[in-house]
Chains A and B, each alone.
Chain A
């Protein structure tokens, strides 16, 4: 098996919808700074908690049955705990943080797997969209949308915007059809791909994903 450094990475993406995965693919390529090959492009989870339930099986399947270098997961936080810097402390685990839950689940599922397909382990990157991926699509366009604003409002017992409102702001309707939604989401992702700094700053849940991806080079280097 050739080294990932000498060829495009082979990556599997797991999201809650075709829309999010289309945008995620563009953002991942932008972070990596190079195109990648999508492994098993028909992977999909049925929203939370399906992602958490299916992740161990998917990790195992990709490890043994494909030559994927890594798995990238994107989930919506909805109304759950936001992943903060405190959660990054060694050994810390927040039981209501979906990022912590997914990291822990992946770690447990893969830590005892023997090498396969010329690699000792599969890489992973996880992003948490707060409260939903539509907020990422509004980043830079709507100053009221961001993780800090969401967190501040939640600490005051308010919900600054709902998922429905985010959809209406992004797509112009609360009920976008798939082609509409994919078109808007990928356009937003391409806009961010030019310069990811704003998205990383406003949405630490994306910055975590980007950090994971950038650390892959260190792992493999």
Chain B
């Protein structure tokens, strides 16, 4: 979907580029631009709803102004989208530039349609278990997951096959439960214990269970978005569940590997867990290290590290290598 992003003077990303893969796990210290990347994508989605700005001649661009450029994979690799900003935080203008090569130069409507499906999640267990407003719309999971009960109800009604698959995967990941139980009268849900059959209501479920259920709702969406961003992918999860969660997201990014006939979903996930990183030893091309020196943040692909294979041969795990600091992506110390 999105092939690359280039930042200029956007928050801590003073001069940073990032080539995006189908699946991207972003690691790095706090304030190193992980969330800024996702914010830039959300800004692109927001501005894609509005009329395009006329291209600004090169000579009229302010050299110090923030700017974020996006390039895309085929069939839209002939277009570049540029967010022009009036200051570091306010990027309110989207302009489109045809590139010398590539397809889709005239298909902004097609690209725009895909961009508008982008979803970003910072899941919140309190929102998921609340019974307040905003729970009626169950078409797409909200950013904090607050309408999960409604999403599950709609899924069961309109896409029962996907709902069944979701339930099956949930009970594989949490074998202590036998079933997902919707409680429409309460606008909520629960999980039935395999031992005894009691239903554990949502507000008594663990945070990790709720987050995993939300991730499964994203993964078992019959019309998934083109891009999914998930912050703190490992949050609330036992280390042994991380593999299962990674697998859920891999299925989004590489559907043909799992026999699914649909377009891949580009996944951008952040984590601070060395244990999650350990799962990517065989796929360093999927790992992005965000680094920060002073106020300036940069991105680098782990696979671009020339001595990575040699470092791994020394016997340390990838997570330990990261924690040690030799891969970068760790907090600065005084």
- Report which A residues bind B (CB closer than 8 A): 17, 44, 46-50, 78-80, 162-164, 167, 172-175, 177-180
Contacts and interface: CB of A to CB of B under 8 A. Distances in A.
A49 B282 contact: no
Given A48-B315, A49-B315, A80-B313, A177 B282 contact: no
A178 B240 contact: no
Contacts, number: 50
A31 B281 CA distance: 32
Interface string B242-263: 0110011011001001100000
A197 to B, nearest CB: 31
B316 interface: yes
A179 B175 CA distance: 13
B257 A173 contact: yes
A130 to B, nearest CB: 15
Contact of B282 (A17, A46, A50, A167): A167
15 contacts: A17-B243, A47-B278, A50-B317, A78-B312, A79-B312, A79-B313, A80-B315, A164-B282, A172-B257, A173-B254, A174-B282, A175-B283, A177-B244, A177-B250, A180-B258
B283 A178 contact: no
A54 to B, nearest CB: 12
Contacts of B254: 173, 175
Most chain A beta-carbon neighbours within 10 Å: one of B244, B247, B248, B313: B247
Contact of B247 (A17, A49, A163, A178): A178
Contacts of B239: 46
A51 B133 CA distance: 49
Interface in B265-316: 275, 278, 281-283, 309, 312-313, 315-316
B212 to A, nearest CB: 14
Contacts of B332: none
Nearest to B310: A79
B321 to A, nearest CB: 11
B64 interface: no
Classify the secondary structure of B's interface with A.
Answer: helix
B176 interface: no
Contacts of B247: 175, 177-178
Contact of B317 (A44, A46, A164): A46
**4 A-B pairs closest in CB distance:** A173-B257, A177-B247, A175-B250, A79-B313
A173 B258 contact: yes
Given A167-B282, A178-B244, 10 more contacts: A47-B278, A47-B317, A49-B315, A80-B313, A163-B282, A172-B257, A175-B250, A177-B244, A178-B243, A179-B172
A101 to B, nearest CB: 10
A162 B172 CA distance: 30
Given A80-B313, A163-B282, A44 B257 contact: no
B240 A44 contact: yes
Nearest to A79: B313
A46 B257 contact: no
Contacts of A48: 315, 317
Given A46-B275, A164-B282, A177 B317 contact: no
Contacts of B281: 47
Most chain A beta-carbon neighbours within 10 Å: one of B244, B257, B316: B257
Nearest to B313: A79
Most chain B beta-carbon neighbours within 10 Å: one of A47, A78, A173, A177: A177
Contacts of A179: 172
